[in-house]
Amino acid sequence: MPDNELGWGRSCNDYVPPVAKLGPHAAALGMRFYTGTMFRRSIGARSSSARHGSWNKTAKIGGDVIVVYLNRDGSVRAQEPFMTGFLQDNAYVGRPVDVQMMRDGSLLVSDDYAGAV
């Protein structure tokens, strides 16, 4: 569907496609490549992304932290939920913004809804 401001007269083929589709209005605000060993090990690179979540959808999505597993060439092999529970009964109880890996491999998640880490 063409964007009213930027998309008229252009094809989607004129743009570089996304590496991963994280959902409409999910707003992946913070991402870090995870190099620690505290959590389940997996072959290949992986990143943790905080999805702030949609605010203007009837059925909200996001409001979680996902893990994206990458192939050696940088393409996405898989993605899965890592931390959930910020969205309950279609209402936010938290909205993750960023993730930060600590020296011991643990992850801190900032939440701007609760004003907490």
Domain assignment present for 44? yes
Contact 64, 23 (CB under 8 A): no
Would 86 be classed as within a structural domain? yes
Assess if residue 3 is contained within a domain. Answer: no
Domain assignment present for 9:
no
Lowest mean pLDDT across 8-12, 79-83, 89-93: 8-12
CA proximity to 46, closest of 36, 37, 33, 64? 33
**Nearest-angstrom CA–CA distance, 41 and 75:** 19
Q: Is residue 87 part of a domain?
A: yes
Q: Is residue 2 part of a domain?
A: no
Residue 6 lies in a domain: no
- Domain membership of residue 59 as a residue range: 18-111
Measured CA angle at 106 (ends 68, 20), to 5 deg: 10
- pLDDT at residue 10 tops 80: no
Q: How many domains does the chain have?
A: 1
pLDDT at res. 89: 93
* pLDDT tier at 58, thresholds 50, 70, 90: confident
How many residues in total does the chain contain?
A: 117
Say if 117 falls within a structural domain.
no
DSSP bridge partners of 101:
107
